[in-house]
Amino acid sequence: MIIGVPTETVPGETRVALVPAEAEALVDRGHTVCVAAGAGDATDWSNADYRAVGCEIVDDRDGVFERADVVLQVRGIGAVDELDPYDDDQIAVGLFDPYNVDDATFETLADRGVSAFALELVPRISRAQSMDALSSMASIGGYKATITAAEALPKMFPLQMTAAGTVQPADVFVIGAGVAGLQAIATAERLGASVRGYDIRLEVRQEVQSLGADFVELDLETEGSGDEEGYAREMDEEFYRQQRTELTRVVADSDVVITTAAIPGREAPELVTAEMIEGMDPGSVIVDLSAVTGGNCEPTVPGETVEHAGVTIFGPTNLPATVSHHASQLYASNVASFLELLLDDEGGVAIDTDDEIVDSTLLTHEGRARYPHLPDAPTDEDEDEDEADAPDADTEEGDR
């Protein structure tokens, strides 16, 4: 196979889809790996590093697409309003933002005969853990959110007992105990803060406490708050209203609030209101890790840092890209594990839709856009009805 790694075109995207160590393993297996010139520059891997492990450097980015059987990217769609030049029968693996990209884009990929795999849709099963790019990147996001807050807070995180007096530890409150939230808690603990964590899924209490943090339990009915994969479910507005009321006191007592609550395919729930923020001390800091889907805080502006009532609110949309070296290393490992699933014993690609991981992540294949991840996805029954109502297959419209 010829495996291609183009440069990323989304503004601010510094990661690369394949690092030299993972590329070397593919070259050793007999594959050709062609990398666009400069693809790894922002991650501290140079063209020379890739050449040293047997990769070919392609000067023209489009040349990667022209040559490759398999294209590996961080952002599979490319820059805004721009679809990369995928070619007929190409295989593409990357983050395709399937919940937010319009269906027409996937229809275009299907028309080109591209088999596109979205790593956001890797199921949460033990066999797929090594391919779970969302978890890898969420962990980095949780870490960097805490570092961002520590830099911005005009207080120190740890307890300090000095001849000049005692400095009390900062109070850090993390909302959401998924991968990002747990990493934020762990990082704040390591920095010496007094940490509390909260999640509507009471089953994560032990995970929060195992990291040394206190678990905040609110007087709310939480049955059915998590799905079978461990993600939080969307609750009704009355639940969120009661939750905001209960959270008001905890938020007001915090120097730092890090919010991570997200629901796949939905807007982030608004958990922290402007009124709640007004109860915090001036100089306090909020880092809203759900900004990319609207944010958990009422004043959050995605991609910007704003101030409300003396509180600084960060709305980052791609924190992993600020830790480009290790983010690329982890992402490349996820990609390589996923690619291993697709490669057969002869070194070709076998797309087996009976495999749960393949079926869950495959967006387009054999000229068809597949939407298994969308709420209004066409089902097999819908397709059977469409075929029954379709014109005769010998007509031009029927062929289409």
State the catalytic residue, choosing from 84, 132, 255, 288: 132
Whose CA is closest to 362, among 349, 347, 376? 349
State the catalytic residue, choosing from 135, 139, 243, 329: 135
Q: Which of 297, 317, 337 represents a domain boundary (last residue)?
A: 317
Q: Which of 271, 297, 317 represents a domain boundary (last residue)?
A: 317
Assigned token pair, 278: 């007004």
pLDDT of residue 397: 30
**In a shared domain, residues 206 and 347:** no
pLDDT of residue 132: 97
**In a shared domain, residues 165 and 302:** yes
**In a shared domain, residues 174 and 214:** yes
**In a shared domain, residues 274 and 209:** yes
Q: Is residue 132 part of a domain?
A: no
State the catalytic residue, choosing from 41, 69, 124, 130: 124
Question: Residue 84 and residue 224: Cα distance in Å, rounded?
Answer: 41
**In a shared domain, residues 310 and 172:** yes
Section 324-338 average pLDDT = 98
Report whether pLDDT(313) > 60: yes
Amino acid at site 149 = A
73 given a catalytic annotation: no
pLDDT of residue 175: 95
**In a shared domain, residues 167 and 114:** no
Section 52-74 average pLDDT = 96
Amino acid at site 26 = L
**Residue 13: its H or E element:** none
pLDDT of residue 229: 52
Report whether pLDDT(224) > 60: no
Query: Which is higher by pLDDT, 266 or 322?
Result: 322
Number of domains in the chain: 2
CATH code for position 348: 3.40.50.720
Which residue stretches of the chain are H helix?
A: 20-28, 47-52, 61-67, 103-111, 133-152, 179-190, 205-210, 237-252, 274-278, 324-342, 356-361, 380-389, 396-399
**In a shared domain, residues 175 and 102:** no
Report whether pLDDT(100) > 90: no
132 given a catalytic annotation: yes
From residue 130, alpha-carbon distances to 21, 126, 146, 265 in Å are 16, 8, 25, 23
Answer yes or no: are the C-beta atoms of 144 and 287 closer than 8 Å: no
State the catalytic residue, choosing from 231, 359, 360, 371: 231
Report whether pLDDT(379) > 70: no
Q: Is residue 126 part of a domain?
A: no
State the catalytic residue, choosing from 29, 60, 103, 129: 129
**In a shared domain, residues 206 and 309:** yes
Residue reference for tokens 């666009």: 36
Q: Which of 317, 344, 378 represents a domain boundary (last residue)?
A: 317
pLDDT of residue 99: 87
**In a shared domain, residues 292 and 360:** no
Report whether pLDDT(380) > 60: no
129 given a catalytic annotation: yes
Q: Is residue 190 part of a domain?
A: yes
3-state secondary structure at position 198? strand
**In a shared domain, residues 36 and 82:** yes
**In a shared domain, residues 300 and 395:** no
pLDDT of residue 382: 45
**In a shared domain, residues 220 and 154:** yes
pLDDT of residue 214: 97
pLDDT of residue 223: 56
3-state secondary structure at position 353? coil
Domain that holds residue 264: 141-317
